[in-house]
Structure 1
Amino acid sequence: MTSTIPPLKPSLESSPWVQVHRNTLKEIVTVLKFDVHGNATMLRMRRADVLKMTQQAAAALGGSPHAAKQPSDGTPVGPSITGRLPTPSHPHGLSVSDAQMVHMRDLRKLDYAFVESYEPSIVVRKQAILINADPIRSVIMRDCCLMFVPDTNHALVDLLKQNFHDTHGEDDDNQMAFEFRFLANDFERMAPIVNSSLERLASAQMSSGELETLRTLKNAMNEFESQVNGLRRVLMEILDNEVDLHLLYLTQSLLEVYLQDIHNTKTKVALMLHRIQNTESVVMLKMDAVRNYLLTADMLFTLIMVCMTFGMFVTAAFGMNLTSGLEQTQGAFVAVLAITVLCAVVSVYVGIAFFRKRGVII
């Protein structure tokens, strides 16, 4: 059965609010389009064009080779989002007509012009899956995928092209549905970030700037842990939502695999954060030891200066222009000097012994 795609009605753009809205926000978005073979094309599109593309993909079900056949009683049966029909093993197979179309509000959640960072989510729409898990923001359709990127020169572009091409190049006869392959590619995108953080921390050496480095790594790992927890929460919500499971035509065991991968990643992040905290504690202990050493040295020099002040007092006393009767005494100078130095040394020794007994000097 063939069907023509009805032309979409142009949106009303004569409203004053729409004009102000158009002047305030950029309408052009940068999109990286992937086909089922992993070929990437960089496009500059209006958000309205992206919405129109998703609506056309949903409206083209009538001409799809996987379109549902009408049963003998005339009851319409719609295919799932992957183009499959309900089977006896899946008696609750839902028609795609039960799912909502992609709305503009759904696309705004993926647009960098509207939202810098957003809570991770996987939204099921008619013939489309919308994934928002920073840095992945994508719209997955039956035969293509639209990836929102900040700009054409962003580092994410080359990484996505390489990973997507490698994923599809391993097995050209891969029978896994296109949506599932791209979901796997999305989640595997997080692995290099964790590995890079592990290598950076493992190769770090103690230095004067180690505490600042640890602070930077800790902040990055905390942010990544938040993303992992968000993805885990999204998968748990989908597992608890029977409607989304049927619309995605996903089995619970498949999502359990993804959930297990996320749990493993979460465990690695938790261990890494624990190692960072331990290293931070070691650095702080070393800094405390250095600070205590400096305080001890300062106390010793202060004690020596106090003891030398006694000798300076004796010197000042004999330096006055008064007759003491010792000027003509043989050996008086040597005796006074020896007694003064001896008293200073004994005072320093007694002071060090006293503070060491008190535990101030280790």
Structure 2
Amino acid sequence: MSMYPSSTRFRLLHSLPQLHLAARSSLSAHNKSRTNGKIKIRSLEQYRTISWKSSLEMHSSESMSDGQEENAKAAILDKVMQGRQPTDLLLRCTVLDDVGHVKSISGQFKRSDLCTEHRLNPRDLRKIDSRVPNLVPTILIRKEAILINILHIRALVKADTVILFDTYGSNDSRLHSVFLYHLEHNLKAKGSGAPYEFRAIESILLSVLSALEAEMVFIRNLVGGLLAEMEDDINHDKFKRLLHYSRRLASFKNRAKLVQEALEEVLEQDEDMNAMYLTDKKNNASRELHEHEELEVLLEFFSKQVEEIVNEAENTESNVQSTQEIVELILDSNRNALLALDLKVSIGTMGIGTGALVAGLFGMNLTSHLEESPYAFIGMSVASTAIALFVAWVGFRRLAKIRKVGLSNPNRHRRKTQHTRPWIPLPLRRRNADGWS
């Protein structure tokens, strides 16, 4: 609500153009009458403009309170969440039918439709549609499907369908193409006698195993080449690369161990392995709880292969750690050698200074009655040199004793064992077959 009535506001609005014209005319007259002060007026206007802008910026920066900051953060968060809502409801999938043909490539499906069609819970697809790569591999067994999330593969396996979910952030299109080709070929090969879901699981685990082996070979070549280079020369750059490779190797070993644990977790559960026979479930074929030899052999084979990769990674990591320890020992030895050299120079300087002290004593302007002796110069020179050499020899000998380090105490053998008599009086001792104790 305005503080002025409607009639007054109407008159003010109609009088604004007239006021504007009057102000412009007065300003032009003032400028014509003050032609000599144009530069000063312009500079004054520029100064006022600059000062007004700076004060406005300072006011805007200082006027931001905590409540306004929280409101701004909430608005940004709402905007981000609103932008992500349409994309989070859709999943990009590649679907293969019961004969191994691709029905759709990178098709978009709603998560709710997938849950309804395949009788899944919404939480089952949270890891698959996550925007952040999952570090922990999982194999989830449901009533009519098997959800596999291992490394670069996120798949839903049924008795007659395989759905591959596009992995967020995966740039290795060649690996995905090879996996898809092998999966199609394996699903079409019905002569093996294995059920549809087992052939799909075999292709998935084989792709995972190939990815682990390829990365292991790559890291092994990097580490082996660097260790061979460090045998000839050790510098800061190579030591830094060794640290980077050791971290990368530790990360790879952790991922391989997680894959092995995921496979072993399924192998330990007889009910889960029995529930993975989806074709028999679809055909209503009855099975005993322990009748899963075919699947057990398949999973054990890949589990052993992954275990070999883990052992190789551990051996490589052990070599890297041994090399790091040896390099640290070499650097410590070099540092000790430099310190010993510094001490030797200091000891030599001390010996020379001791000999120079004798010469300095005779450099004083005092009468010593040795100026007249013809052998005084030679004698004092020999004496000064002998004193300097003796002091240096004592210092070097002491340094050699200090640097002589052994695993055993050198003074241990010099100590004589003294027989201590028992302080207990004779009546309080016990008598045995050999005598009093």
- Which TM bucket (shorter chain)? 0.5 to 0.7
- C-alpha spacing 1:24/1:311, structure 2 compared with 1 (3 Å): farther
Percent identity, aligned pairs only, is 20
Give SS of 1:320's match. Answer: coil
* TM-score (norm: length of structure 1): 0.68
Go from structure 1 to structure 2 and tell me whether the alpha carbon gap of 1:129 and 1:342 turns closer, same or farther (over 3 Å shift): same
**1:104-119 mapped onto 2 (5 Å cutoff):** 105-113=123-131, 115-119=132-136
Question: Aligned-pair distance for 1:53?
Answer: 5.7
Larger helix fraction of residues: 2
Matched, 1:218 2:246: yes
Q: Which blocks of at least 5 consecutive residues in structure 1 are unaligned?
A: 1-17, 59-99
2:210 to 185, 188, 194: 188
2:355–2:385 Cα contact (<8 Å) kept = yes
Matched AA of 1:283: V
Which residue pairs with 1:159 in the alignment?
A: 175
Q: Can you list the C-alpha shifts for 1:256-296, whole angstroms capped at 9, x where unaligned?
A: 11111122112212222222222222212212221221122
Pairing 1:40-59 to 2, within 5 Å after superposition? 49-52=109-112, 54-55=114-115, 58=118
| Aligned residue among 295, 311, 322 for 1:267 | 311
Deviation at 1:255, TM superposition (A): 1.0
Residue 23 (structure 1) aligns with: 82
Asked if residue 324 in structure 1 is aligned to residue 343 in structure 2, the reply is no
Contact kept? 2:138, 2:148, Cα under 8 Å: yes
Distance 1:334-1:178 versus aligned 2 partners, 3 A rule: same
Cα distance, 1:101 vs structure 2: 0.8
What are the residue-to-residue correspondences of 1:143-158 with 2, within 5 Å?
143-150=162-169, 154-158=170-174
- The answer on whether the counterparts of 2:155 and 2:164 sit within 8 Å (CA) in structure 1 is yes
Match of 1:307 among 341, 345, 351: 351
Q: CA deviation at 1:178?
A: 2.7
- Which residue among 272, 285, 289 is the counterpart of 2:329? 285
Q: Which residue of 1 aligns with 2:50?
A: none
Q: In structure 1, what is the equivalent of residue 384 of structure 2?
A: 340
Q: Structure 2 CA distance, aligned partners of 1:341 and 1:196?
A: 65
Instruction: Tell me which amino acid in the other structure corresponds to 1:132.
Output: N
Contact 2:256 2:309 in 1 (8 A): yes
Give the distance between the partners of 2:208 and 2:136, measured in 1 at CA: 16
- Which residue identity lines up with residue 272 of structure 1 in the other structure? T
Whole-Å separation in 1 of the counterparts to 2:318 and 2:186: 39
* Aligned mate of 2:296, from 252, 274, 283: 252
CA distance in 2, matches of 1:317, 1:32: 97
Question: Which of 255, 269, 277 is matched with 1:227 structurally?
Answer: 255
Paired letter, 2:179? F
| Structure 2 alignment gaps of length 5 or more | 1-76, 278-293, 407-437
1:237 aligns with 2:265: yes
Cα distance between partner residues in 2 of 1:287 and 1:40: 61
Distance 1:257 1:54 in 2: 32
Give the Cα–Cα distance (whole angstroms) in 1 for the partners of residues 176 and 353 of structure 2. Answer: 74
Rounded to whole Å, the distance in 1 between the matches of 2:298 and 2:175 is 25
Cα 1:351–1:283 change in 2 (3 A) is same
- Note closer, same or farther for the CA distance 1:186–1:51 as it changes in structure 2 (3 Å cut): farther
Q: Which residue of 1 aligns with 2:31?
A: none
Kindly state the Cα deviation for residue 26 of structure 1 after the two structures are TM-superposed. Answer: 6.5
Aligned 8 A contact 2:155 2:162 in 1: no
Shift of 1:102: 4.4
Mean alpha-carbon deviation: is it higher for 21-30 or for 352-361? 21-30
CA apart distance, 1:254: 1.1
Q: Distance in 1 between matches of 2:134 and 2:358?
A: 75
The AA in structure 2 aligned to 1:192 is: A
Q: 2:172 is paired with a residue of what secondary structure?
A: helix
Specify which structure has the bigger relative contact order, considering alpha-carbon pairs within 8 angstroms and separated by 6 or more residues: 1
- Preserved CA contact (<8 Å) 2:93 2:163: no
Which residue of 223, 236, 245 corresponds with 1:201? Answer: 223
2:260 touches 2:306 (CA, 8 Å); kept in 1? yes
**How many residues are treated as equivalent by the alignment?**
293
What residue identity is the alignment partner of 1:226? N
Q: Which amino acid aligns with 2:182?
A: T
Whole-angstrom CA distance in 1 between matches of 2:378 and 2:395: 26
Partner deviation per Cα, 1:153-172 (whole Å, 9 max, x = no partner): x54344333x3256358779
What is the distance in 2 between the residues matched to 1:155 and 1:325? 96
Shift of 1:31: 4.9
Question: SS of the counterpart of 1:123?
Answer: strand
Residues 55-134 of structure 1 correspond to what in structure 2 (within 5 A)?
A: 55=115, 58=118, 101-103=120-122, 105-113=123-131, 115-125=132-142, 128-133=145-150
Amino acid paired to 1:149: Y
